[in-house]
Chains A and B, each alone.
Chain A
């Protein structure tokens, strides 16, 4: 079988049945990472040595009848903000930290190792996960993240996680989201990306950008694969007090004929770019095949100002030493070298007010979602920008993103899945956002969507 662009679920069956060996799989993806990774600026470090050790171990275990589950022997890439032991650098995408190493694995990396997955690469990312206010794709020491679709920006900050999955360099990847950093690269790269509920996945060993906003989650070819990965990485962790003591088991069982109840926030796509609006309108018609779609109204609150204040204040504190020492002058994007200084203008009272208003946001979001399976909206309000242009960003405040503001402030799960292409061949995306802890519901909706569409089966001309 050709493993490239084969979903994890199918690879897992082939590995379990010993039709394909983990070592062969791993070598195939290592080769692609080394050969094609530079084309997309997708890779920081190919972890060949560690990968082959893990792959040989998996092969031996499976041969001895010790199949651990669907990720056993499956290669993956991790965003380079996840700590890895063994001298493998963890750079956070930042030039001043190119040589940074840790002597332990992040919990997510440990959990994937326990599941038998094979770490083949540390993937490129926007420097410091975009927390310094970048305005352009070229904001990483590895260069601008490039989507296999049209050579446009891959999105960020999990840029390599999106492009590596899209280019068939890894079957799945781990990304992180503070505001948009999983959904955006999933959208720009035409893949599926799941942002779990805040606290569903331990952040131990992950770079902190904003302690109350950061989430880790998978990017993969299908929603189903995202569920398989979440099953392996979710769960409590004594080393991360925010990791919730709620068990999670992925429920991949589809109920035949299930009808979902979807909501659309009034005017949610009004400010989106025209191709995004058009694709979303068509999606709303298609969604009627798997459920009902109703317009909903939400309380009039400054959602984006609330989330942005929290993000800017926490990021300024998380990187206080780097900012105040002037070390940010070594970052790649010129604007990242000084923009964070402005955050000293945020007062403690402003931050606490945002946290008080956040209580209103979580209650309002739960009120709206309590009678729905999911809110739907464009995965990202804009299509991928050219590499040499500034992009519009909700986190910076020059494009509305009420779904992102609510979803991240309230820590709600959302999945972005492909829903079309522009005339110039750039992917667009649809997101399903659910109530807290309802990953299985949004995954079921996304699986149903991918059961009636084929956008997720289209591949960029990577191997042409």
Chain B
């Protein structure tokens, strides 16, 4: 597994969404903590991106059609 590539701008953009939605109910200290939490999420997602996937690699969950009488 290679080292994940990190783009500091990505954390900024994702954090902007969080601040937009919830900023009015948070203190500056809480916003700082949330920014760190978003940076952790971005690092986590970067780790996921290090694994190559092909078109055939499906999610584990499979959709199951439904009938109430079955």
Chain A residues near B (Cβ < 8 Å) = 133, 212, 300-302, 305-306, 308-309, 312, 324, 326, 329, 335, 338-339, 341-347, 350, 352-360, 362, 397
By a beta-carbon cutoff of 8 Å, the part of chain B in contact with chain A is: 1, 14-15, 17-18, 21-22, 25-26, 30, 33-34, 37-38, 40-42, 44-45, 47-51, 53, 57-61
Complex CA distance for A356 and B56, rounded to whole angstroms: 10
Chain B residues within 8 Å of A355, by CB: 59-61
A-B contact pairs, 8 of them (CB 8 A): A302-B47, A302-B51, A305-B47, A305-B48, A341-B21, A345-B42, A352-B59, A359-B57
Check B1–A344 contact: CB distance below 8 A. Answer: no
> In the complex, which of the residues A312, A341, A346, A359 contacts B22, with contact meaning CB atoms closer than 8 Å?
A341
Cα-based distance from A329 to B48 in the complex (angstroms): 31
Closest to A302 in B: B47
A interface: dominant SS: helix
What's the Cα separation between A355 and B44 when bound, in Å? Answer: 14
CA of A341 to CA of B23, assembled, Å: 10
A360 to B44, CA, bound (A): 17
Q: Are A345 and B14 in contact (CB-based, < 8 A)?
A: yes
Q: Enumerate chain B residues within 8 angstroms of A302, measured Cβ to Cβ.
A: 1, 44, 47-48, 50-51
Q: Are B59 and A342 in contact (CB under 8 A)?
A: no
Q: How far is the CB of A408 from chain B (nearest CB, A)?
A: 13
- Check A339/B34 contact, CB under 8 A, given A212-B61, A344-B21: yes
| Complex contact A357–B41 (CB within 8 A) | no
Nearest neighbor of A349 in chain B, beta-carbon distance:
B45
Shortest beta-carbon distance, A248 to chain B, in Å? 22
Residues of B within 8 A of A308 (CB): 44
CB-CB < 8 A to A354: which residues of B?
Answer: 48
Nearest CB on A from B35, distance (A): 8
Closest A residue to B13 by beta carbon equals A345
Is the beta-carbon distance between A341 and B61 smaller than 8 angstroms?
no
CA distance A346 to B45 in the complex (A): 8
Q: List B contacts of A359 (CB < 8 A).
A: 57-60
- Contact between chains at B38 and A342 (CB < 8 Å): yes
CB distance from A96 to the nearest CB of B (A): 16
**Supplied contacts A342-B37, A346-B41, 20 more A-B pairs, CB within 8 Å:** A133-B37, A300-B1, A302-B47, A305-B44, A305-B47, A308-B44, A309-B45, A326-B25, A342-B18, A342-B34, A343-B41, A345-B15, A345-B18, A350-B48, A353-B45, A356-B57, A358-B60, A359-B57, A359-B60, A397-B44
Minimum distance in angstroms from A202 CB to a CB of chain B: 18
B48: which of A309, A342, A345, A362 is its contact (CB, 8 Å)?
A309
**CB distance A312 to B34 under 8 Å?**
no
Q: Among A345, A353, A357, A358, find the residue whose CB has the most chain B CB atoms closer than 10 A.
A: A345
Query: What's the nearest-Cβ distance from chain B to residue A399, in Å?
Result: 14
A342 vs B35: C-alpha distance in the bound complex, in angstroms? 8
Centre residue among A302, A357, A358, A362 by max chain B CB count within 10 A? A302
Taking the closest CB of chain B, its distance from the CB of A345, in whole angstroms, is 4
Task: Tell me how far the C-beta of B63 lies from the nearest C-beta in chain A, rounded to whole angstroms.
Answer: 12
A-B complex: 4 closest residue pairs judged by Cβ atoms = A355-B59, A342-B37, A345-B14, A302-B47
A410, closest chain B residue (CB): B60
In the complex, how many angstroms separate the beta carbon of B5 from the nearest chain A beta carbon?
A: 13
Interface contact B48-A344, CB-CB below 8 Å: no
Which residue on chain A has the smallest CB distance to residue B22?
A341
Q: Within 8 Å CB of A301, what residues of B?
A: 1, 51
Given A301-B1, A335-B33, A350-B48, check contact A342 B41 (CB 8 Å).
Answer: yes
Give the CA-CA distance A346 to B57 in the complex, in Å: 21
Contact indicator B33/A358 (Cβ below 8 Å): no
Closest CB in chain A relative to B9 CB, distance in Å:
13
Q: CA separation between A300 and B47, bound complex, in Å?
A: 11
Residues of A within 8 A of B61 (CB): 212, 355
Q: Give the complex CA separation of A309 and B43 in angstroms.
A: 11
Nearest CB of chain B from residue A420's CB, rounded to whole Å: 33
A160 nearest CB across to chain B (Å): 28
If A326-B25, A341-B22 touch, does A357 touch B48 (CB 8 Å cutoff)?
Answer: yes
> What chain A residues lie within 8 Å of B51 (beta carbons)?
301-302, 357, 360
- Nearest residue, chain A, Cβ from B44: A305
Bound together, the chains give a CA A301 to CA B48 distance in angstroms of 8
Q: Give min CB distance, B61 to chain A, whole Å.
A: 6
Minimum CB distance partner of B51 in chain A: A357
